[in-house]
Amino acid sequence: MKTFERYVLRRLTLAFVMALTALSAVVWSTQALRELDLVTSKGQTIVQFVGITMLAMPFLVLAVAPFALLIALILVLNSLSQDSELIVITASGASRNILRKPVMVFAVGVAALSAFLAIYLSPASLSLLRNEITRVRVDLVANIVKPGRFIGVEDGLTFHIRNRSGDGQLDGLMMHDERDADTINTYEAARGRIVEAGGHTLLVMQDGTIQRRGRNSGTISIVRFQSYAFDLSSLIPQAAQPTYKATERSMAELFNPPPGDRYAAENEERILAEIHDRLSQPLYPLAFAMIVLACLGSARTTRQNRSVALLGAIIACVALRTAGFGALTLVSAFPSARFALYVVPIAGFAIALWFSLLSSRPAWVASLVARAEHIAERVEELVSRRRVDRSGGVA
Burial of 203 (0-12, 13-18, 19+ CB in 10 A): buried
Model pLDDT for residues 337-386, shown as the tens digit of each residue: 888 899 999 999 999 888 877 755 565 555 665 565 556 566 666 766 77
Which pLDDT value is given to residue 117? 94
**Separation of alpha carbons 243 and 261, rounded Å:** 9
**Sorting pLDDT into bands at 50, 70 and 90, what band is 144?**
low
The SS3 call for residue 232 is: coil
pLDDT score, position 32: 74
Alpha-carbon gap, residue 158 to 174, rounded angstroms: 8
Categorize the per-residue pLDDT at 330 as very low, low, confident or very high, splitting at 50, 70 and 90.
confident
pLDDT above 50 for 303: yes
Amino acid at 200: H
Q: Would you say 232 and 187 are in contact if contact means Cβ atoms under 8 Å apart?
A: no
This prediction has a pTM of 0.70
Mean pLDDT score of the chain, rounded to an integer?
80
319 close to 256: Cβ distance less than 8 angstroms = no
Q: What is the pLDDT of residues 10-60, one digit of tens each?
A: 999 999 999 999 999 998 888 777 666 555 545 556 677 777 788 889 999
Long-range contacts of 80-88 (CB under 8 A, 24+ apart): 80/8, 81/296, 81/299, 81/300, 81/306, 82/302, 84/302, 86/298, 86/299, 86/300, 87/299, 87/300, 87/301
For the chain, what percent of residues have pLDDT higher than 90? 29
203-238 per-position pLDDT tens digit:
889 999 999 998 888 888 999 999 998 887 766 555
Residue 195 has pLDDT above 70, yes or no: yes
Measured between alpha carbons, how far is 352 from 269 in angstroms, rounded to an integer?
32
Each residue of 146-169: pLDDT tens digit? Answer: 777 777 767 788 888 888 776 668
Does the pLDDT value for residue 239 go beyond 50? Answer: no
Tell me what the mean pLDDT of segment 72-95 comes to: 77
Phi, psi of 89 (to 5 degrees): -65, -40
Alpha carbons 390 and 261: distance in angstroms, whole number? 68
